[in-house]
Amino acid sequence: MSTELTTELTTDSTVQSTAQSADELTDAALTAEAQRLVGEFALIKPSLTAAAVGAALITDAGHLYTGINLDLACGIGFCAEHSAVAEMLKHRETCVRRIVAVDDERVVAPCGRCRELLVQIDRRNMDCVVLMPAGERRTLRELLPDAWLEHLLVEGKRA
């Protein structure tokens, strides 16, 4: 994998490549990619905001995708992990190797909705490494041991 290029999405959705491979991108560097996106700003009123949380993920193909959260009224916002996953899906990738989300102070654990999102786009994501607070690393399988959809997939049933 050391010959693969890391892909970073810029704010204008163009793709830039660097020579650094995903294998060379440390947890600290992945966290820094997410951290550089954080900078909460108000939208149409102070209680509606964007970019309080940033996320970065590395795919199985060695590409880097990032995203920010939207905190909106009526529950229509989304987490930074969702934003990063959407960018990944635009490039027809589904398998996440590592993922991290951060706010302006620390690494934050993914919520249950984000955990389910990762499982529902590719069952191999159960083995994705999630960077956690205090420098811990956990697989998604550890964080979501009884994923309801995984049981349906194993049993061959439709969701």
Q: Is residue 89 part of a domain?
A: yes
Catalytic residue among 33, 81, 87, 93: 81
89, 145, 90: which is closest to 121 by C-alpha?
89
CB atoms within 10 A of CB 35: 18
Q: Is residue 138 part of a domain?
A: yes
- Residue 101 near residue 55 (C-beta atoms within 8 A): yes
C-alpha 103/C-alpha 80 separation (Å) is 10
pLDDT in tens, the chain (159 residues): 222 333 343 433 333 334 356 557 999 999 999 999 999 999 999 999 999 999 999 999 999 999 999 999 998 999 999 999 999 999 999 999 999 999 999 999 999 999 999 999 999 999 999 999 999 999 999 999 877 665 555 555 555
> In this structure, what DSSP letter does residue 110 have?
P
The half-sphere exposure of 84 on its side-chain side, counting CA atoms within 13 A, is: 35
Q: Is residue 1 part of a domain?
A: no
Check residue 16 and give its pLDDT.
38
pTM confidence score: 0.81
Number of domains in the chain: 1
Q: Is residue 103 part of a domain?
A: yes
Q: Which domain holds residue 146?
A: 6-155
Q: Is residue 25 part of a domain?
A: yes
Residue 119: CATH number of its domain: 3.40.140.10
Check residue 147 and give its pLDDT.
73
Q: Is residue 151 part of a domain?
A: yes
In the residue annotation, 142 being an active-site residue is answered as no
